[in-house]
């Protein structure tokens, strides 16, 4: 098990953002993407009076995080759930409001490193990409069964892949001869389909296609679109949210939700803005914060990270 699997991204900054809300006894913080428990462990150790609720859709990640967090088991509740299920989880646990919420989006290091998951384009593995392998369709099923137009849409919308049509044409020809089962075959096909100029820049040419398939398989953007507003709605006044995202689609969505919450909802032209139209959130970061050069040098998976934070300053409008 490599050490990179245990390195939480922008850890200290996440702790600093959440700290003012978690210092009081009885504070509850939700780690919506528990993964291997790196952020969760740090939260429990840094805030000894806080309770952690940890969510993850990957049963194997929950098992490993449970082992890691065993010394804090009395203050940690781990739940198998997708993060847009946060309100239902809190209702089940009898927790109306929480003081902190953390999202660390994207693929966990364990999923990238685990042979048999098919997330990584650097090694040949079954084309699965499901974060929860007990449910849903695999990346191979998407490649083998989606109509060409739908595949082009997925690659363009979720991978921002300029050469989506060329790649899909090659996929359709190849799957007619033999269905896709492994990541290695897909990587090779993408290399052959792309023009030379596209292969010279921007890292591995399969990167955008793999991102697009992963987002489609796990419904990541639609889940996130529901999850961030849901998390904000369950923050107590004074509570804080921190969100780490790893590509522009996620970051734009998070930015929109937090910025809207930090703006007035009053009709234009009112001389005085009534209380119910006042902002619900205060932004805690100027734009998206980036990891430092030192962190990126030590943990290359931190490189694309973008961190945004906000504080709840008012209850919902009635």
The C-alpha atoms of residue 52 and residue 159 are separated, in whole angstroms, by 34
The C-alpha atoms of residue 196 and residue 205 are separated, in whole angstroms, by 10
**Would you call 292 helix, strand, or coil by DSSP?**
coil
Residue 50 burial (10 A CB sphere; 0-12, 13-18, 19+): buried
Query: Is 115 marked as binding a ligand?
Result: no
Query: Is 203 marked as binding a ligand?
Result: no
Query: Is 72 marked as binding a ligand?
Result: no
Beta carbons of 58 and 71 less than 8 angstroms apart: no
The C-alpha atoms of residue 216 and residue 226 are separated, in whole angstroms, by 16
233-259 CB burial, b ≥16 within 10 A, e <16: ebbbeebbbbbbbbbebbbebbbebbe
Q: Tokens 């044409």 appear where? A: 169
Beta carbons of 186 and 209 less than 8 angstroms apart: yes
Q: How far is CA 148 from the centre of its chain?
A: 27
Query: Is 111 marked as binding a ligand?
Result: yes
HSE value, Cβ hemisphere, 13 Å, CA-based, for 165: 0
Beta carbons of 152 and 143 less than 8 angstroms apart: no
HSE value, Cβ hemisphere, 13 Å, CA-based, for 190: 22
Contacts of 244 (CB under 8 A, 6+ apart): 9, 10, 14, 102, 103, 104, 105, 305, 306, 307
Query: Is 83 marked as binding a ligand?
Result: yes
Residue 87 burial (10 A CB sphere; 0-12, 13-18, 19+): middle
Q: Which residues are annotated as a binding site for S-adenosyl-L-methionine?
A: 37-39, 56, 83, 104, 111
**Binding site, annotated residues:** 37-39, 56, 83, 104, 111
């Amino acid at each position: 098990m490599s050490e990179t699997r245990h390195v939480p991204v922008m850890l200290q900054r996440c702790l600093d953002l959440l700290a003012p809300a978690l210092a009081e006894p009885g504070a509850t913080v939700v780690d919506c993407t528990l993964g291997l428990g790196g952020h969760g462990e740090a939260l429990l150790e840094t805030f000894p009076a806080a309770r952690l609720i940890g969510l993850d859709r990957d049963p194997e990640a929950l098992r490993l995080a449970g082992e890691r967090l065993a010394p804090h088991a009395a203050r940690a509740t781990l739940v198998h759930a997708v993060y847009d299920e946060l309100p239902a989880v809190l209702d089940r646990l009898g927790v109306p409001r929480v003081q902190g919420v953390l999202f660390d989006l994207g693929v966990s290091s364990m999923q990238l490193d685990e042979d048999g998951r098919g997330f990584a384009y650097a090694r040949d593995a079954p084309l699965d990409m499901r974060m929860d392998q007990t449910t849903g369709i695999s990346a191979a099923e998407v490649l083998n069964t989606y109509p060409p137009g739908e595949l082009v849409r997925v690659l363009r919308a979720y991978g921002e892949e300029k050469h989506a049509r060329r790649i899909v044409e090659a996929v359709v020809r190849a799957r007619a001869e033999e269905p896709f089962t492994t990541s290695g075959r897909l990587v090779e096909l993408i290399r052959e389909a792309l023009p030379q100029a596209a292969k010279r820049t921007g890292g591995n040419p399969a990167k955008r296609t793999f991102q697009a398939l992963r987002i489609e398989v796990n419904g990541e953007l639609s889940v996130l679109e529901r999850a961030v507003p849901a998390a904000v709605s369950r923050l107590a006044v004074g509570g804080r949210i921190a969100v780490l995202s790893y590509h522009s689609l996620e970051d734009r969505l998070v930015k929109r939700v937090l910025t809207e919450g930090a703006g007035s909802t009053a009709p234009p032209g009112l001389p005085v803005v009534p209380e119910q139209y006042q902002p619900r959130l205060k932004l805690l970061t100027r734009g998206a914060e980036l990891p430092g050069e030192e962190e990126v040098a030590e943990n290359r998976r931190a490189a694309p990270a973008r961190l945004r934070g906000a504080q709840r300053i008012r209850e919902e409008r009635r």
